[in-house]
Chains A and B, each alone.
Chain A
Amino acid sequence: MAQLKRTPLYEEHVKLNAKIVDFAGWEMPIQYKGITPEHLAVRNNCGIFDVSHMGEIFITGKDAEKYLQYLITGDVTKLNEKQIVYTMMCYENGGIVDDLLVYKFSNEKYLLVVNASNVDKDYEWMLKHKANFNVLIENLSQAYGQVALQGPSAQKLLQQFTEFDLGKIKFFYFEEIHIKGINCLVSRTGYTGEDGFEIYTSEADILPIWQTLVSLEAVEPIGLGARDTLRFEASLPLYGNEIGADISPLEAGFGFFVKLDTDFIGKEALLKQKENGLKRKLVGLQLLKKGICRHGYPVYDINENEIGIITTGYLLPNHDNSVALALIDVNQAELDNKVLVKIRNKFYEAQVVSKKFINKKYNK
């Protein structure tokens, strides 16, 4: 087996007594104090995540805008400088290569932030479709460290380390500023449903940034366990769960991020899917009795015919019943419809509910 990779912050996680797991080939902290207290810390105050394993790919050159427009489902021409868009890359058949953030520096320079588990695949995909576009595609994932500071207190806590007025960074915008004298790219983005920032800097400089922030009493270190419960509670998709090579963005309910008036890889298939009507839909489910829905559990109609699968499910802190996201037959997807979830060979009644498990508290 290949050697597991470590972020520049690995030793810090060990010092904080984190439980370490193998995640997409990386030795990452799954939890420090526990998933529940960490989840609540982000909702109520502030948490910091090591996300240095994420991929950073730069697209530069004269055709950067044109190339990206062809590569992603979103409309990159609508972006202002220093603005960010959440978007996807699709296969010709409409399945998803990856979901990503695109940071626009200029018409000739963009940063693409992709999932750790997909960096190599994405990079190859980008190279494969470079064709005659005049662009340089650089995978600089190893050179970058990244932390996310998330929660209602994030701005107040980060402000003391920079002279730049963070209030000027709008939702899904970024600035290149100094944090404690270190050059950083700071964006008002995140994966928790809370206000907060993602901070990028060199591999070497991420350590003092982490140490400065994590040493604050109000900041809890957060592992991948709570990262998943937080993003799930905010109904944000995870590649491999809600979206994937065999799930189209339309089925997953992300039609908003697919601009069919632009030309991109996979557009024909998605247009066709739209015309023919979708067969499956991503819905929220709530169990009607005690139990826990989890990723991969099958879902049935009330007559016990299989209709789909749980993409993510948990018993979340502050929820009485387990909730889930499930990809199911569109005919069963109406709100309040009763379905069955099979948990260890027993059927549990559940109800289709809104995917809005919480109200997001973005600072827009």
Chain B
Amino acid sequence: MRVIEGLYYSKEHEWIKVEAGKAYLGITDYAADALGDIVFIELPEVDSEYEKDEVIGVVESVKAASDLFTPVSGTVIEVNEDLEDEPQLLNTDAFGNYIAIIQLKDESELEELMDSESYKSFCENN
């Protein structure tokens, strides 16, 4: 299972890539593998504002629905609509397919997230 350097990670197994105040949000290989075959995704609405730890969407496998939490506060400025038609892209390449882009409200929230090394050991100890 891959963990990519240079990204931020949450305990809910999401990754965040930051570019100029914008956060690309996705789920990790670990999450995609734990969910199994992903068959449906409910994306957040563009222009909606979310507080840190709020549910912004849902990822569903055949067996179960899992909430998608945002580990950062901000406004959704874009969603990956490809996932509506091909949610299984998250199984084939979880890191290559972001779910939403969030305009960060408070960049200091990133400091609470894990780096790749801490996330790797977090997964190993889980």
Contacts and interface: CB of A to CB of B under 8 A. Distances in A.
- Tell whether A and B belong to one assembly: yes
A314 interface: yes
Interface string A215-240: 00000000001000100000000000
B36 A34 contact: yes
Interface string B24-53: 000000000000110110100000000000
Contact of B40 (A34, A35, A292, A344): A292
A291 interface: yes
A31 interface: yes
A30 interface: yes
Nearest to B58: A344
B39 A34 contact: no
A332 B70 CA distance: 39
A149 B76 CA distance: 49
Contacts of A344: 42, 58, 65
B84 interface: yes
Most interface-central of B58, B61, B63 (chain A CB within 10 A)? B63
Q: How large is the interface on B (under 10, 10 to 19, 20 to 34, 35 or more residues)?
A: 10 to 19
Contact of B63 (A30, A290, A291, A316): A30
Nearest to A30: B63
A337 to B, nearest CB: 25
A315 B40 contact: yes
Given A31-B36, A315-B39, A36 B58 contact: no
A38 to B, nearest CB: 10
B14 interface: no
Contact of B62 (A19, A36, A290, A291): A36
A189 B53 CA distance: 49
Q: How large is the interface on A (under 10, 10 to 19, 20 to 34, 35 or more residues)?
A: 10 to 19
Contacts of B64: 294
A39 B39 CA distance: 14
Contacts of B39: 36, 292, 315
B63 A35 contact: yes
B60 A292 contact: yes
B37 A291 contact: no
Contacts of A39: 62
B40 A225 contact: no
A335 to B, nearest CB: 26
A316 B62 CA distance: 7
Contacts of A19: 36
A35 B62 contact: yes
A230 to B, nearest CB: 11
A292 B60 CA distance: 8
Interface in B56-100: 58, 60-65, 84
A99 to B, nearest CB: 23
A237 to B, nearest CB: 19
Given A292-B39, A315-B40, A225 B63 contact: yes
Nearest to A34: B37
B126 to A, nearest CB: 15
A39 B37 CA distance: 12
A34 B63 CA distance: 10
Nearest to A319: B39
B85 to A, nearest CB: 9
A292 B65 CA distance: 9
A248 B60 CA distance: 32
Interface of A: 19, 30-31, 34-36, 39, 225, 229, 290-292, 294, 314-317, 344
15 contacts: A19-B36, A30-B63, A31-B36, A35-B37, A35-B61, A36-B39, A225-B36, A225-B62, A225-B63, A292-B65, A294-B64, A314-B62, A315-B60, A344-B42, A344-B58
